[in-house]
């Protein structure tokens, strides 16, 4: 049954659906990846402030493509620095491409990796830093960005939960070698399922296009590259040259039509979510709950409710109160908490010890998130806070 206060409400509007219906009424509508996808990619690039974007089937597909390309660029393998507080596909994509994940604990004020730990974890085997901007917070620092640039280590930003967040007035997702977004239903905006891979690097853009689509050469718009392959492989049909062992991770015109319309309202969505977050934290009892987050530049995904102290009793009472008052929540915050506790990682025997990541452990056992979305109004936020504060 739908909760009184769910994680998300009405993220696909009547107008989005009407636009899809209009398209379906055309005589012979294109439904596969086509001109609407191109239009959405261009509009997204403009909104984000990057040169190139590639529309894919999910945020996880975006993660898979970025790690598969890093693998193609580093066939010898190596280490990728990752957070324990993230989504499964941020770690799975690393493993699936034969890299070793090297974990760094989070900074409790941003929930993203602690920059000091990331820089300390860099070795001559590091081939990338795969940072997650968690729950709408900006996870970047100047020090981290400058240090990675100085050492020529690619930064890959996962912005799936943080559309519109900014670092020093510039949108996150514009700082890395590439950045990944999700348009899953509960996110800031949706295309039902969907994602985007973004970059300013032309050569990388061409690879992303090919990796999205079977590794097919004809997906590049780089004619010189096409001619080079055609000359090297004269025995192949040019329409079927597979330059990379890749995937089909394309999205379609229906998703693009919804995405184009949703994008028009995204700045307002970010503003509304941010205003809700301000109200939530202004009302929250700072004796029991953590309030010292770095809110600057944040574009809140969900209300992060983290106990100030390790208190199992309080956590239990909080869960009971939320259940009784029909307030939906997700324990452990992003991705269910500490990934190192998950079976898929245990099976790899990497010798990881969850307790070595104390800040993530705290969020895992004493943290959760509650839905925030533009149609959640001030009265509702006050009601949620009065339940939480009374625990
Ligand atoms: C940080 C992060 N990365 C990646 C994803 C995966 O996105 P998708 O559900 O579109 O595959 C999610 C999903 O919510 C996420 O929170």
Residue nearest to atom 5 of ligand 1 (CA): 59
Q: Do 73 and 145 reside in the same domain of the chain?
A: yes
Element (H, E) at 132: strand 126-132
From 263, 292, 322, give the residue that closes a domain.
263
Ligand 1 atom at minimal distance to the Cα of residue 194: 10
Residue 228 inside a domain? The answer is yes
Burial class (CB in 10 A: 0-12, 13-18, 19+), 199: buried
CA distance linking residue 79 with residue 163, whole number of Å: 27
From 263, 292, 312, give the residue that closes a domain.
263
From 263, 281, 300, give the residue that closes a domain.
263
Q: Do 287 and 243 reside in the same domain of the chain?
A: no
CA distance linking residue 134 with residue 38, whole number of Å: 28
Residue 3 inside a domain? The answer is no
DSSP 8-class letter at 375: T
DSSP 8-class letter at 174: S
Total tally of structural domains belonging to the chain? 2
**Res 387: pLDDT:** 98
Distance 96 CA to ligand 1 centre (A): 17
Number of C-beta neighbours around residue 3 at 10 A: 15
Q: Do 206 and 307 reside in the same domain of the chain?
A: no
Mark the ranges of the chain whose per-residue pLDDT is less than 50: none
Ligand 1 atom at minimal distance to the Cα of residue 133: 1
The predicted-structure confidence for 151-167, as pLDDT tens digits, reads as follows 999 999 999 999 999 99
CA distance linking residue 10 with residue 27, whole number of Å: 30
Ligand 1 atom at minimal distance to the Cα of residue 60: 11
Q: Do 162 and 295 reside in the same domain of the chain?
A: no
Any residues with Cβ below 6 Å from ligand 1, and which? 58-60, 63, 86-87, 89-90, 132, 158, 160-161, 182, 184, 195, 334
Give the contacts of 373 (CB within 8 A, at least 6 positions apart): 8, 9, 11, 273
Owning domain of residue 214:
14-263
Residue 272 inside a domain? The answer is yes
Distance 60 CA to ligand 1 centre (A): 6
Residue 5 inside a domain? The answer is no
Distance 81 CA to ligand 1 centre (A): 18
Distance 61 CA to ligand 1 centre (A): 9
**Res 186: pLDDT:** 87
CATH number, domain at 272?
3.90.1150.10
Q: Do 196 and 232 reside in the same domain of the chain?
A: yes
Distance 91 CA to ligand 1 centre (A): 11
**Res 142: pLDDT:** 98
């Amino acid at each position: 049954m739908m909760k009184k206060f769910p994680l998300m409400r009405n993220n696909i509007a009547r107008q989005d659906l009407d636009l899809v219906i209009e398209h379906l009424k055309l005589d012979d509508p294109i439904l596969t990846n086509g001109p609407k996808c191109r239009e959405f990619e261009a509009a997204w690039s403009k909104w984000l402030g990057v040169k190139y974007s590639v529309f894919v089937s999910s945020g996880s597909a975006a993660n898979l493509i970025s790690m598969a390309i890093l693998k193609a660029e580093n066939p010898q393998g190596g280490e990728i620095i990752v957070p324990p507080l993230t989504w499964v596909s941020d770690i799975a994509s690393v493993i699936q491409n034969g890299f070793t994940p090297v974990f760094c604990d989070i900074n409790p004020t941003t929930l993203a990796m602690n920059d000091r730990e990331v820089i300390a974890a860099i070795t001559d085997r590091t081939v990338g830093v795969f940072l997650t901007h968690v729950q709408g917070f900006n996870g970047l620092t100047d020090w981290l960005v400058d240090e990675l640039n100085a050492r020529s280590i690619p930064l890959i930003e996962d912005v799936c939960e943080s559309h519109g967040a900014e670092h020093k007035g510039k949108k996150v997702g514009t700082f890395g070698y590439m950045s990944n977004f999700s348009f899953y239903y509960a996110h800031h905006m949706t295309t039902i399922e969907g994602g985007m891979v973004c970059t300013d690097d032309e050569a990388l853009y061409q690879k992303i296009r090919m990796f999205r689509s079977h590794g097919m050469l004809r997906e590049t718009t780089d004619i010189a590259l096409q001619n080079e392959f055609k000359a090297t492989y004269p025995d192949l049909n040019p329409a079927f040259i597979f330059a990379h062992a890749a995937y089909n991770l394309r999205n379609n015109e229906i998703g693009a039509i919804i995405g184009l319309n949703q994008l028009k309202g995204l700045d307002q969505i970010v503003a509304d979510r941010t205003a809700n977050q301000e109200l939530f934290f202004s009302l929250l009892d700072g004796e029991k709950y953590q309030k010292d987050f770095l809110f600057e530049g944040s574009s809140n995904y969900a209300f992060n409710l983290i106990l100030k102290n390790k208190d199992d009793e309080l956590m239990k009472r909080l869960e009971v109160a939320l259940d009784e008052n029909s307030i939906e929540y997700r324990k452990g915050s992003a991705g269910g908490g500490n990934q190192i506790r998950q079976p898929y990682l245990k099976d790899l025997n990497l010798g990881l010890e969850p307790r070595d990541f104390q800040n993530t452990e705290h969020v895992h056992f004493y943290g959760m998130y509650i839905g925030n979305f533009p149609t959640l109004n001030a009265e509702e936020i006050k009601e949620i806070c009065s339940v939480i504060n009374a625990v």
